[in-house]
Amino acid sequence: MDTLNRIKELERLIIQAKKSYYSFTDDTDEQQLTDAEFDLLEEELRQLDPNNVVLRQVGYEDTLNSITNKIKVTHTIPMLSMDKVKKKEDLLSWFNNKIDSGLITDYQLVVEPKVDGVSGDLLYSNTKFQYAATRGNGRIGLKIDTNLIKNTIKSTIPIKGSEIHIRGEFYIPKSYNLKKERDDYEPLRNLCAGALKRKEPIEINKYIEFIPYNIIGTDITFDKEIEKLELLRKTKYPDIQYFITKDITHVWEYFEEYEKSLRNKWSFESDGLVVVFNSINTQKIIVQEFGDTDHHHKYAIAIKPKSVGAWSTIRDVEFNVSRNGRIVPVAIMYPVQIGSVMVSRATLNNMSFVKENNIQLYDKVFCNRTNDVIPDIVKVIHTTKSKEVTIEKCPSCGTKLVEKGVDYICPNHLNCPAQIVNKFLHWFTSNDIKHIGPSSIDKLIHGGNFSSLWQLYAMNQNDLMCVIEKYCNISKDTDTMKEFIRLFEKSKDQTEQDIIGKYGIPTIGIKMLKKMNIYTLNDLIKYKDLSYMSSDVAVEKNICIWLNQDPRNFDDLFSLIKYIDPKKKVDKNIKKKLFCITGALDNLSRNDAIKEIENKYPNYEYSNTVTKDVSILYIGNDATNTSKYKTAVKYNIPIIEYKSI
Ligand SMILES: [Zn+2]
């Protein structure tokens, strides 16, 4: 569910951003993203759902090309972004990696604030201002109408040269927050991005500042990075404060100081620090020896602060329906940046959570990101507009909801479209069928009018490809389709127990079935006996509830097994060998490693802890200090390096 929510959120943010590019509306309510944020969103969506239709519509450059009322500017020297670190050890390894090459003699570093604004390039010719442009995607940006920044721009600078590019950040100073009683918590950076795209200036345009950090000219050369910063002082734009050191540990101390107090003292919002080698010669050596990636200069790095959460306003509450009918309220907020991620949705868990915390529509809320995907709301302030959140009917099928424990449930388990989509998704995910993403599954189900998984398995391969081609817009001869079909066919090659475990009965997975000695539907059906309703074992009770809440639950699973017709049988006589894993594995998650081992040795089963019953301990890097390792040594359990399998 989390991934699907994030995909929906990304789609919404990207579509909105594209719209605002096309229209250049003067609607102040419209949320504006910076180009760099736009890039990040597309990249994240590409990773979660590579075939998402939003990505196929138009890319960034197409979007730029379709804009006719703004002039495009090519950056002959691209405006690259920087690699980022968050931890001390990553900073040290970035530095040591350069020093260990033995090629660098001058390793003085310059540390400066990373201003959180909108990157831009100003062109001056023979001291006179020509135009300003946005960073765009680093290679192509858009010209900014000069009347939008007429209070910002210095019309002349005392630096000669036929083509002088001054690069820096447009930003709105923090003092703007004090001047205005602001109703929402839209970040200043986004207000600035919006103000730079308008047709006509409004009041906020008066507040835009520009702080330069780089200068490139046809006739000027530098020996040191700080010479650039010193020369830029002459322009009378605000200056960047910097700090010089040869000791990388001082850089980290400075960063700690930054997190504690420095960032609050600066007049602009900042997003960490930038560290760059001072010697231009050193920079050149690094480019020669380490290369430049498409996006990053390797002689500079950004240190990003830990995420601290952010304020926003709840604009709407959306209700999602899980595969088992649970209603999950989600707060839709003004997009805010938390850490390095732009979010506009926060989970409200369930209706009890909403009531207990008295969360209302139009509340001001403080969000924290505790897991990787969706933030939590941790503080709530009511506003005059605040309105109670209520729900009575399922948003997907309109059935009256029933209260069960902390949850509201849609009881229409077999025909509720949202529950069907999420059941399919759960099955596809459990079977590693990743090549058709959530948005395509959604279209397949709605377009093809599917209500049960077995319907897919009842079709022949060609018919299945036809419906996918028709509704998901994926051609038969593409690799995506071939890979989908391969994995779909593979999903038929499993035991009845696997199918039951992956089907999605609440709290019942394959592990649990093994523990309960449930191998087939015959083993499962005995829990239909109502005496299990009062069982002390929660899983027995869960199966009993599931079987009795609607007889069609069982019929549906029965049909799935009938059409898959599993040939593979569990050999009940083979005693399972338990294995455990400890230490870090290169490029492999723990779960992938477990799958790899279990696929290779079908009678192996993963154990979370090392006990006397464990037969093998696999170890990765730095495993010898772990308690699992020590226990294995104590019990004389064979220890094998994971690499060797
Ligand atoms: Zn429903």
22 and 148 co-located in one domain: no
User: In CATH, what number is assigned to the domain containing residue 338?
Assistant: 2.40.50.140
Q: Is residue 203 part of a domain?
A: yes
Ranges under pLDDT 70 in the chain: 1-2, 18-36, 56-69, 180-186, 292-296, 307-308, 339-340, 369-375, 568-575, 644-645
User: How many contiguous H segments (helices) and E segments (strands) does the chain have?
Assistant: 24, 22
Number of domains in the chain: 5
- pLDDT recorded at residue 190: 78
Q: Which string of DSSP letters, residue by residue, matches 473-521?
A: ---TTSHHHHHHHHHHHHTTSS-HHHHHHHHT-TT--HHHHHHTT--SH
- pLDDT recorded at residue 463: 93
125 and 217 co-located in one domain: yes
**Residue with tokens 């969000």, as numbered in its chain:** 367
Q: Is residue 53 part of a domain?
A: yes
28 and 169 co-located in one domain: no
135 and 265 co-located in one domain: yes
| 399 Cα: distance to centroid of ligand 1 (angstroms) | 6
Helical (H) or strand (E) element with 420: helix 417-430
Q: Which string of DSSP letters, residue by residue, matches 204-251?
A: GGGG-EEEEEEEEESS---SBHHHHHHHHHTTTSPPPP-EEES-HHHH
432 and 531 co-located in one domain: yes
| 413 Cα: distance to centroid of ligand 1 (angstroms) | 7
Q: Is residue 8 part of a domain?
A: yes
User: What range does the domain containing 530 cover?
Assistant: 417-564
- pLDDT recorded at residue 301: 93
543 and 589 co-located in one domain: no
Q: Is residue 449 part of a domain?
A: yes
Give the span between the Cα atoms of 176 and 179, in whole angstroms. 5
Q: What is the tens place of the pLDDT at every residue in 1-60?
A: 467 777 888 887 877 776 665 444 444 444 566 666 777 777 778 777 777 777 765 555
440 and 362 co-located in one domain: no
- pLDDT recorded at residue 246: 92
Residue 584 carries which DSSP code? B
| 504 Cα: distance to centroid of ligand 1 (angstroms) | 17
The token pair at 81 is: 């972004």
Residue 210 C-beta-side C-alpha neighbours within 13 Å: 27
Last residue of a domain, one of 348, 374, 409: 409
| 116 Cα: distance to centroid of ligand 1 (angstroms) | 44
User: In CATH, what number is assigned to the domain containing residue 162?
Assistant: 3.30.470.30
Give the span between the Cα atoms of 471 and 447, in whole angstroms. 6
314 and 299 co-located in one domain: no
| 406 Cα: distance to centroid of ligand 1 (angstroms) | 18
Q: Is residue 170 part of a domain?
A: yes
296 and 315 co-located in one domain: no
| 410 Cα: distance to centroid of ligand 1 (angstroms) | 5
| 393 Cα: distance to centroid of ligand 1 (angstroms) | 8
| 542 Cα: distance to centroid of ligand 1 (angstroms) | 21
24 and 93 co-located in one domain: no
318 and 297 co-located in one domain: no
Q: Is residue 572 part of a domain?
A: no
Q: Is residue 571 part of a domain?
A: no
User: In CATH, what number is assigned to the domain containing residue 586?
Assistant: 3.40.50.10190
| 498 Cα: distance to centroid of ligand 1 (angstroms) | 28
275 and 216 co-located in one domain: yes
| 215 Cα: distance to centroid of ligand 1 (angstroms) | 59
- pLDDT recorded at residue 271: 84
Q: What is the tens place of the pLDDT at every residue in 433-486?
A: 877 777 888 888 889 889 899 999 999 999 999 999 999 888 888 888 998 999
Residue 71 C-beta-side C-alpha neighbours within 13 Å: 9
- pLDDT recorded at residue 228: 95
Last residue of a domain, one of 513, 541, 564: 564
- pLDDT recorded at residue 523: 92
- pLDDT recorded at residue 1: 45
Classified as helix, coil or strand, 360 is coil
- pLDDT recorded at residue 60: 55
| 514 Cα: distance to centroid of ligand 1 (angstroms) | 32
How far apart, in Å, are the Cα atoms of 97 and each of 4, 94, 285, 289?
39, 5, 13, 11
| 349 Cα: distance to centroid of ligand 1 (angstroms) | 18
| 550 Cα: distance to centroid of ligand 1 (angstroms) | 15
Last residue of a domain, one of 509, 535, 564: 564
Q: Is residue 569 part of a domain?
A: no
Cα 185 versus chain centre, distance: 21
